[in-house]
Chains A and B, each alone.
Chain A
Amino acid sequence: MDEITALRQIRPVESDAEMEAMLQRARERYVAGTGARRTPRAGQRRRSPVLAGGLTAAVAGGATACLALTGVLGSAPVQRANTGPPGAVVTAAWTVREDSDGTVTVEMRQYADPAALQQTLRADGLNAIVRSIPYQLETITLPKPATAAVKRPLRAPHPTCLFGSSDNAPQAVQNAAVTISDQPFPLSFVIHPDAMPQGSALFLTFMAGVPVAPKNGYTGVRPLVPVVLNNSTVPPCVPVPTKTPLTSGPNAAPGPKG
């Protein structure tokens, strides 16, 4: 036997059921991306990874991670930039770039498209969870307008709940895993995947789609703060009291499910 034949013997393969499930999801994404006619396929089943030689082995990253991806497949396909650095995904809202040293840089220009951001980060091998924070608009009056242009009450987004977790990774891990840029806008941060402990998750939250025009780069939106969780459990969104009576009805922008 030569080396090519030996290599074929060790090629990892998935069970037929899992391949069918993955194929179905890939097809859904393809159809959504091309606008082709939809034709349903068989449903998904659990994976049972095996090697070509008949070996049952946990070679893959884990069934939960694979299944978790289904939560974002309904989002619009990410548009890849024709320009910009190789390996970067650029949308109107943000840029995700995998650098040659293995780090991943995220630059946020708008707080939008959380599902696609999650999808993109996961495609770069990060166990990322991105959620949008539900909000309502409240009317506030600045006590002392900073500029002559600000003369009337403003409508500002107010989070109706915030994600909090008692299962955050230690601060030393947070510091090692994420470096946040000092510049105020656009917000950018660098993720160091090698500093992410096994089983941990990078949790990103922001108020998505806030209808507030940026002024000098400042949107009035609560800044996104990446947090490393010890596991992939999404913390609950805890209600927060409002400072002033809320105006128009709920304006929540739900993030990806899962």
Chain B
Amino acid sequence: MTAETQASDADLIARSVSEPDLFTAVFDRHSAEILRYVCARLGPDMAQDVTAETFLAAFQGRDRYDGTWPDARPWLYGIAVRQIRRHRRVEGRRLRLLQSALADRPVPDHGDRAAEMVTAARLGPRLAGLVASLPPRDRELLLLVAWAELSYAEAAAALDTTISAIKARMHRIRVRLRQELGGSNPMNEENHDG
């Protein structure tokens, strides 16, 4: 195991200010995850470019990294979100395509699929449509929690706000989704503040 693989992101980023090649280790550590997230939101045609732009922006701003965060993921997601904002129209088309694809897929048989798969299949098209109709800032927070699987604290760091603000916004978003989907069932409240 090399020193680079053992070092925290914060350590690597700090050292990369004087040794720029070290930042490549940060790319190799997190680029697949960022790419997956960007790809889910914008599609494969743009994902590689936006991911590259995200890490280039991170590289250029590495001297301003807050070293109190040993894990750079929230910082990188924050940069990715700002890059994605430039392509709202593309994301809108992507979500509409997703909605259509979900509507076209057959609902799994109760007998051989888990109940949550059946529920997701039934709710999928409406859920995708609702996500598309959310205000952009709400959508990016919701998808940071749902698709990037960031905790509220990490989402707050990514969006440069407070945890209490994130909690309040998420509560409002989830209430709206639940109402739009027709009430509390079949969904039950779960805590995603990991």
Contacts and interface: CB of A to CB of B under 8 A. Distances in A.
Overall SS of chain B's interface: helix
Contacts of B116: 1, 5-6, 9
Contacts of A119: 49
B23 A36 contact: yes
A31 interface: yes
Contacts of B147: 7-8, 11
B111 to A, nearest CB: 16
A23 interface: yes
Contact of A26 (B43, B48, B189): B48
Contact of B24 (A9, A25, A37, A53): A37
Nearest to A12: B40
A6 B127 CA distance: 8
A60 B44 contact: yes
Nearest to A123: B49
B137 interface: no
A77 B104 CA distance: 39
Interface residues of B, number: 64
Contacts of A6: 116, 119-120, 123-124, 127, 187
A1 B101 contact: no
A3 B48 contact: no
Interface string A34-61: 1111010000000101010101011111
Given A29-B49, A35-B20, A3 B174 contact: yes
B56 A33 contact: yes
A10 B35 contact: no
B35 A23 contact: yes
Contact of A9 (B52, B124, B145, B192): B124
Contacts of B7: none
Nearest to B117: A53
B169 interface: no
Interface string A42-85: 00000101010101011111100110010000000100000000
Interface in B1-58: 20-21, 23-24, 27-28, 31-32, 35-36, 39-40, 43-52, 55-56
Contacts of B40: 11-13
Interface stretch (B71-79, B90-98, B153-161): B90-98
Interface in B64-117: 86-87, 89-90, 93-94, 97-98, 101-102, 104-105, 115-117
B132 interface: no
Given A1-B120, A19-B35, A7 B20 contact: no
A19 B36 contact: yes
A245 interface: no
B116 to A, nearest CB: 4
Contacts of A36: 20-21, 23-24
B95 to A, nearest CB: 10
Given A13-B40, A122-B45, 6 more contacts: A6-B127, A26-B51, A30-B56, A30-B59, A60-B43, A123-B87
Interface of A: 1-14, 18-19, 22-23, 25-27, 29-31, 33-37, 39, 47, 49, 51, 53, 55, 57-62, 65-66, 69, 77, 87, 98, 102, 119, 122-125, 193
5 contacts: A2-B188, A3-B187, A7-B146, A59-B101, A77-B52
